[in-house]
Structure formats: structure tokens, C-alpha cells
Amino acid sequence: MRVHEPLIVALTLLLAGCTRSGMDSQPKYNEYKQGALFQDGQVLQSAPPGAVAREDAARAREAGNKPAITADLLARGQDMFNTFCSPCHDRTGTGNGMVVQRGMPQPPSFHEPRLRTADDAHFYDVISHGYGAMYSYAARIPPRDRWAIIAYLRALQLSQHAQLSDLSADDRARLTAETTP
């Protein structure tokens, strides 16, 4: 016999002993049926009062920390907007996305005066909790990405409503020079 064969035989006997003792088919409770495991007779238990999920405290801190607007944040916001928002709101925010074209209710345009003047907290709340036919994205979009979407949304709104008078004199001169043949 080789050195490893006694070890293999011992492990085989050990595993065979597990099946004879019933360790391979232990009793279990079905979470939706009655059971004597807890005093209230229910197997499925709710969290105790005051319990906080592991990530909730960090998410709450992150939700209150609106990041500074940077090119990276806007790029991330555009990516997240195109992924999660454009199916309904389309890539320009007018509310005519692909799912709307296939029969879903049309969301409002982000370019309506009501939404152009809405504060950022409104959009954060809508992403987090849903609104109307829109469901909550809280489980899908982390707080920092929600802020990134809002930053991109503001840039999108600005791009659709910018006036020449909003630019500096140097930028106006450069723009008119580029458009003049």
C-alpha cells in the first residue's frame, strides 16, 4: 500500500459513517409554515426593533454627502443615466425612451420648468423611493451613483436650455468664430 491509500480508506469510512447517522438529511423548517422553533410559532422572523442592516449606516452617511462635481463624476453619471434612466426617459431626458415607445406610460420630461427648478433632493428621493409608475432604484443604484446621475441630469438640462448670453465673452467669441464660414 502506498502512503496515501490508508488516508483515502479512512476518509471513505468517515464519510460513510455520516450517511448512516442521518447527517445527510437533517430536518429543516419551511419558512412559511408553522414551527416550534420560536415562541410565536412562526419560522420566518422579522428583525428585532432597532436592527440596522450591515450596509445601511454607510449608505445613509454616503447619501448625505453630495460629492463635488468633477468630469469623472459626470462621466459616471452619464453611464448610469444611460443604463438606468434612458429606457424610459431617453438619452436626452424628454421622456420618450424605448419602453415608452412600446406602451409604458410616458414619464415627464426633465426639461419641464417644474423639474428644471426642482432641487437635487427631489431627484435623489425619486431614485431612492420611486415615483408614480417608476419603482425604487435604491437596491440597484448606490448613493454616490445617484448623485452622479443627478449631476449629469443637471448638465443635460443645462445643455438643452443654454443661452448664448450664459457664456463668457471669450467663449462667445470662440463659438462664433467656429460657426462662421
pLDDT tens digits for range 47-58: 888 887 777 777
Q: According to the model, what pLDDT value does residue 17 have?
A: 63
Instruction: Give residue limits of the domains in the chain.
Output: 56-163
Q: According to the model, what pLDDT value does residue 140 have?
A: 94
- Average confidence (pLDDT) over 60-85: 92
- Residue 144 pLDDT greater than 80, yes or no: yes
Q: According to the model, what pLDDT value does residue 40 have?
A: 84
Q: According to the model, what pLDDT value does residue 22 have?
A: 62
Fold of 56-163: Cytochrome Bc1 Complex; Chain D, domain 2 (1.10.760)
Q: According to the model, what pLDDT value does residue 90 have?
A: 96
Residue 111 contacts by C-beta under 8 Å, 6 or more apart in sequence? Answer: 93, 94, 157, 160, 161
pLDDT tens digits for range 103-126: 999 999 999 999 999 999 999 999
